[in-house]
Amino acid sequence: MTEPSPAPSATPVKTIAFVLYPGLTPLDIVGPLQVFAALADLVPGYRTVVVGERIEPVESDTPLSLAPSHTFEELADPYAVIVPGGLVPTLAAMADEELLRNLREIAARSRVVGSVCTGSLLLAAAGLLEGRRATTHWMYRDLLTRFGATPVARRWVEDGHVITAAGVSAGIDMALHLVGRLAGDGVARMVQLFIEYDPEPPFGPIDWTAADGGQYAPFARQLLENALAGHPALLAQLSN
């Protein structure tokens, strides 16, 4: 009697993990999270999670609080990990050794390591961008050089398995690019249609001359000093 053939194994699920920490900017995480949630609805084999140190709500830089779905210890082997950014709390988190340790450990288990906005500064502070091309929010792009990275003024930048996005809304662009890479351009276009991502800003495109001219440099410097007032060594490293 012929033995029945074994049932085909289930398709492994690719987990896209977003890192949550106090004080981040909600759009940095929610924008790309929504893109990947739409991917999971359209294509079997994907899921999105939000990972933090503890399962409890944390404040953002708006009145909205957010809560993780998993702790770092609960997440074994994510396919991708994406770190959102923010302003003063994110800059201060560059000195949070517990968070940086968790980022190093989860990045070592991930096939893709990404960031949005100043989230790349956390990757850099964790030693994950040394020798790589990367981007971040335009106000702090030059800080990447202090961690051994090469800053690039682009909407998103890929270098090996690392992908970094520029400020805030650029995370949606980066996420759509990754969806195209994972599931094909047709699926990415469908996700873009479903979330109706078709920007038409009421005041037209950004005028980059003010940013390029350093008009906001004193403001950026003051925020950095406020964030790292208790960490003079790191502040000095980022100021030289």
Residue whose structure tokens are 């994110």: 90
β-strand partners of 14: 46
Residue 184 annotated as catalytic: no
Amino acid at 237: Q
* Whole-angstrom distance, CA of residue 193 vs CA of residue 167: 22
CA 123 → CA 12, 56, 106, 178, 191, distances in Å? 27, 23, 11, 18, 27
Handedness of CA 213, 216, 218, 221 (dihedral sign): negative
Q: Which of 16, 83, 117, 144 is catalytic?
A: 117
Catalytic residues: 117
